[in-house]
Structure 1
Amino acid sequence: MKRIESPEPQDQEMSFLDHLEELRWHIIRSLLAVVIAAGGAFLAKGFIFDFLLFGPSKGDFWSYHMLCKISQLVGIDGGFCAEELPFTIQSRTMGGQFSAHVWTSITAGFIIAFPYVIYEVWKFVSPAMHSKERKHAKGFIIISSILFFMGVLFGYYVVTPLSINFLGKYQVSEIVLNEFDLSSYISLVRASVLATGLIFELPILIYFLTKVGVVTPDFLKTYRKYALIVVLIISAIITPPDIVSQIIVAVPVLILYEVSIIISKIIYKKESSEKN
């Protein structure tokens, strides 16, 4: 005999307070994952600071070698070939180094725990989706995480070295020495890494905005020229004020925008066919 499958149970209607309670637990679990990852990062102080965080402050950093070769190939003197960067990093407050250790560990914890944070976000929004869409949870988490980590790596290996190389060498006068405070240096690295990590989530954002009908492929195409201006403004904010650095950052973001248009077109056609 053919087995008759019972229909899926319908989700019960949740009140506003129930949604808040559900959201609270998703946030708590996400924060717990970040705290656990931050604890591991706190114990790995030597690797986090000496190897990762202070890597771009050294002239032998991998990115400077690559930028040096590229600048020589195109015949541009970008100042990337110096063996040592002309600045020092110092801490001028009693709790400066401990505070930097704690906040850096929290930032690293968020980056490490990002896949789980995305998983909790998906768990919160998935009840509002169809059963077929819920099956794509694994793919959503993997793609979101890959995009975020690609952005983090781009921020660390491209945006951060460009910023440090420019600002570390910039002088209004030879009398003024560049002696940067530890918190200022860490803030620059943190902002560069997190900003690009989140910017690389643009295709995921466009996916959801298309799903809920906020944007369409035609809308994205129509406002492409305005998006270009926005991208250049963002590039100018997170990079040094030179055109080469801004172009280096703007190109991958514009590529992501074009990819977002393709994603929006696919989702829009699928949503339209299901309605018809």
Structure 2
Amino acid sequence: MKSSADRKAEREKKHDDQVDQNEQPLLAHLIAFRGCVLRSVLVVGLLCIPYLIFSNQIWEFAAEPLVEALTSNDAQEDEDDAQKLIAVQPAAPFLVPIKFALYLSLFTGMPYVLHQLWRFIAPGLYLREKKFAIPLFASSVLLFYAGIVVAYFFVLPLVFSFFAYVAPTNVEYQPDINYYLSFMLKIFLAFGVVFEVPIVIFLLVVTGLVQAKTLSKARPYIIVGCFVVGMFLTPPDVISQVLLALPAWILFEIGLLIARLVKKKKAE
């Protein structure tokens, strides 16, 4: 005869395995998906308006790591004599701040886009899957933004200070505005993706696809893999690759530790 605790556990499992039984035709799903896409585009477009209005001011803030590196390298104290970026293409001073404003609206609007995606797929998930997915979505977004913050306030100043310092004395180091935008976006994307490593490790271990012991034994290969990934994700310079590989290794260890703690708690 089953005890009350067993019956309660069965009821909870049955409740967690429930899913929305109100099946809808394919057309209804397509209409719902279209609504999610339209709302996402609308929000991103609305975010883009103030960014476009203040695009020059925003770009000045975005270019500050490079300008500071150039100015400090020349030891110039007068703000009027501060180094500036150059524009090779005639329309670059107009187009680059606008392009950055568009990218910025996508970055800042991503949480809402993911929320709309969640609203679309959530009715088809079990309750236990919803409880598992919501914290992962939230932590993924926060970690991605954390990677961008680290890249802007730490990596970019260090990289450009190094470039300006090692430049030959007969070379005037003034990067093009288009090059800086491309370089900055690559660094932002690379660090945003790498900061998702704890989530990936956590999912692999908790779902049982990979054992924590297996990852621990493969640590030397994973460290080498971090540097290889850094080589592909970052621009072709050693400093960026090292600055990406080291956080990736640390985040791997953090993700492995969290996964072990969660598995241990479940076992108890």
Report if TM-score (shorter chain) is over 0.5.
yes
Which is richer in helix?
Answer: 2
Partner of 2:42: 32
CA contact (8 A) 2:148 2:191 kept: yes
Shift of the alpha carbon at 1:20? 6.4
Match of 2:130 among 109, 131, 134: 134
CA–CA distance in structure 2, aligned partners of residues 263 and 23 of structure 1: 35
Partner of 2:5: none
Which consecutive residues of structure 2, in runs of 5 or more, have no partner in the other structure? 1-14
Shift of the alpha carbon at 1:159? 1.8
How many aligned positions are there? 246
One-letter amino acid of the structure 2 residue matched with residue 233 of structure 1:
V
CA contact (8 A) 1:30 1:120 kept: yes
CA–CA distance in structure 2, aligned partners of residues 216 and 206 of structure 1: 10
Partner of 1:72: none
Partner of 1:83: 75
One-letter amino acid of the structure 2 residue matched with residue 55 of structure 1:
E
CA–CA distance in structure 1, aligned partners of residues 24 and 264 of structure 2: 31
CA contact (8 A) 2:56 2:97 kept: no
One-letter amino acid of the structure 2 residue matched with residue 113 of structure 1:
G
CA–CA distance in structure 1, aligned partners of residues 164 and 247 of structure 2: 25
CA–CA distance in structure 1, aligned partners of residues 83 and 127 of structure 2: 56
CA offsets, 1:107-143, max 9 Å, x none? 2112212222332343344345321342466544442
CA–CA distance in structure 2, aligned partners of residues 218 and 20 of structure 1: 44
SS, match of residue 58 in structure 1: helix
Output aligned runs, 1:1-276, within 5 Å: 10-12=20-22, 23=33, 25-50=35-60, 52-59=61-68, 83=75, 88-135=84-131, 139-171=135-167, 174-209=169-204, 214-236=209-231, 238=234, 241-242=237-238, 247-265=242-260
CA contact (8 A) 1:167 1:240 kept: no
CA offsets, 1:120-172, max 9 Å, x none? 3433443453213424665444422321221111110122122222334444x
TM-score, normalization by structure 1: 0.70
TM-score, normalization by structure 2: 0.71
SS, match of residue 230 in structure 1: helix
Shift of the alpha carbon at 1:10? 3.4
Shift of the alpha carbon at 1:18? 7.0
CA contact (8 A) 1:91 1:97 kept: yes
Shift of the alpha carbon at 1:82? 5.8
One-letter amino acid of the structure 2 residue matched with residue 189 of structure 1:
M
Shift of the alpha carbon at 1:12? 4.8
